[in-house]
């Protein structure tokens, strides 16, 4: 049974189920969106929760979760790179759970304002008729049946949004999607879990969790450890397949003064364009900022991009050609260029118990790439299920064992 807003999780202070002195204690490692949402779900289930992180939300040294584009997408997403069938099948379920949760938050005006979450039109453009690409056609049909709001397919979207006809887009569809102001949302999530009773500890873990599991559990009196550390999981989970995909976003003023105010996300995905060099990613961040993207640079660890970097200049030129008027857009003087490292792994997203050590009480949730916000609540639901299984003494199973015949097998209800 999917996570349900109000029944299983509450956006207000205080946990839905008050923990007792006998309630299990969960140690969540990671202070990004995946860790915070996992902690939120666990807190509302009545667990004691401690969150350990090397850094927290900040307007000076932003976390990866703050730099993210944070446009909800049905997988595979704009930046592509989703290659594992098992992970992709799980991700399609996870994203819809998150969709309905963000939608519920956005539907409350006060919560929407406080959290920075809004539902806005999200448009996807294609260089050929969608039916001519079996993958895109299948994806569109899945989206139509998924339960998203406001789906519409038609080439008239191209004219309505003012796309330059010479760019070559000939087909498009639109849906209502969560668009998240990540700075505001991360501050809100951090405050929310604290109000629900989470203890926050600033500390860096630098060893494989299997090697320090017993000492870590003893020090924090933890019954289960949940690893949500993104790129750090290369060490903490002993997973050498973890790698970064560097991304960059230009931030411009979107107040209607220089070009018509954009109130919808406009994208051409990597899989639709057949090349990551042709991605178009235009997403309103808040009331007056527009994000211009995007790029994907696998295995690039350095955050040394500038507005004059060739790949950033090509990205800007591509988007300017796509949407006339952007050429004259004014840069956000305080924060003109955002850049970060998306945490990918060879087999994509991993939400799974530790398999290297029999009897381990570690649960992993990492490798979300550029989809941490889109998958957050869905992964958190599975984390809670795996925590319950761990506490019940049920043997660990690989992710593939949780897939039924063409459908997802829900192992426990929330």
Q: Mean pLDDT throughout 193-221?
A: 98
Rama region for 4: left / alpha / beta (φ>0; ψ in -120 to 50; rest): beta
Mean pLDDT, the chain, as a whole number?
92
> Residue for token digits 């994907």?
296
Averaged over 86-100, what is the pLDDT?
90
| Low-confidence winner among 60-64, 96-100, 120-124, 194-198 (lowest mean pLDDT) | 60-64
364 beta partners: 227, 352
State how far Cα 31 lies from the chain centre. Answer: 14
With the C-alpha atoms ordered 193, 373, 60, 300, is the resulting torsion angle positive or negative?
positive
Over residues 223-237, the mean pLDDT reads 98
Stated pTM of the model: 0.93
pLDDT for position 2: 79
| 1 pLDDT above the threshold of 90 | no
Question: Residues 137-184: pLDDT tens digits?
Answer: 999 999 999 999 999 999 999 999 999 999 999 999 999 999 999 999
The predicted structure's pLDDT at residue 85: 78
Whether the per-residue pLDDT at 283 is higher than 50: the answer is yes
Which of 115, 105, 361 lies closest to 217, judged by CA? 361
Strand partners for 48: 25
Q: What is residue 279's predicted lDDT score, i.e. its pLDDT? A: 87
Judge whether residue 406 has pLDDT over 60: no
pLDDT in tens, 307-341: 999 999 999 999 999 999 899 999 999 999 999 99
pLDDT digits (tens, 9 = 90+) for 363-403: 999 999 989 999 999 999 999 999 999 999 999 999 887 66
What mean pLDDT comes out for the span 113-119? 96
pLDDT of 113 > 70? The answer is yes
Q: Does residue 179 contact residue 72 with C-beta atoms inside 8 Å?
A: yes
At residue 407, the pLDDT reads: 37
Give the pLDDT of residue 261. Answer: 93
């Amino acid at each position: 049974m999917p996570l349900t807003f109000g029944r299983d999780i509450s956006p207000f202070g205080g946990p839905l189920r008050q923990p007792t002195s006998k309630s299990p204690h969960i140690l969540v490692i990671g202070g990004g969106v995946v860790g915070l949402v996992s902690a939120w779900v666990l807190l509302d289930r009545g667990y004691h929760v401690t969150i350990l992180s090397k850094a927290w939300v900040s307007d000076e040294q932003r976390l990866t979760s703050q730099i993210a584009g944070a446009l909800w997408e049905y997988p595979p997403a704009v930046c592509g790179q989703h290659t594992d069938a098992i992970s992709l099948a799980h991700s399609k379920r996870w994203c819809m759970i998150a969709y309905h949760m963000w939608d519920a938050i956005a539907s409350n005006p006060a919560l929407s304002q406080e959290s920075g979450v809004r539902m806005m039109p999200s448009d996807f453009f294609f260089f050929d008729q969608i039916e001519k690409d079996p993958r895109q056609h299948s994806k569109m049909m899945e989206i139509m049946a998924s339960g998203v709001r406001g789906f519409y397919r038609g080439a008239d979207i191209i004219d309505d949004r003012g796309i330059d006809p010479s760019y070559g887009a000939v087909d498009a569809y639109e849906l209502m999607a969560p668009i998240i102001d990540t700075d505001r949302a991360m501050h809100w999530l951090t405050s929310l879990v604290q109000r629900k009773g989470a203890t926050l500890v600033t500390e860096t873990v630098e060893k494989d969790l299997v090697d320090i599991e017993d000492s870590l559990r003893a020090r924090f009196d933890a019954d289960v450890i949940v690893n949500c550390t993104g790129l750090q999981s290369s060490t903490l989970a002993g997973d050498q397949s973890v790698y970064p995909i560097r991304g960059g976003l230009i931030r411009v003023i979107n107040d209607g003064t220089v070009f018509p105010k954009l109130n919808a996300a406009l994208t051409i995905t990597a899989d639709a364009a057949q090349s990551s060099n042709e991605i178009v990613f235009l997403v309103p961040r808040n009331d007056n900022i527009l994000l211009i993207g995007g790029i994907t640079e696998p295995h690039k660890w350095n955050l040394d991009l500038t507005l004059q970097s060739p790949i950033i200049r090509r990205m800007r030129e591509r988007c300017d050609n796509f949407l006339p008027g952007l050429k004259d857009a004014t840069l956000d003087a305080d924060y003109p260029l955002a850049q970060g490292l998306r945490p990918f792994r060879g087999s994509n997203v991993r939400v799974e118990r530790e398999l290297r050590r029999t009897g381990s009480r570690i649960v992993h949730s990492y490798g979300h790439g550029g989809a941490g916000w889109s998958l957050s609540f869905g992964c958190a639901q599975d984390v809670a299920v795996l925590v319950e299984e761990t506490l019940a003494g049920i043997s660990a199973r690989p992710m593939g064992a949780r897939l039924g015949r063409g459908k997802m097998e829900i192992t426990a209800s929330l």
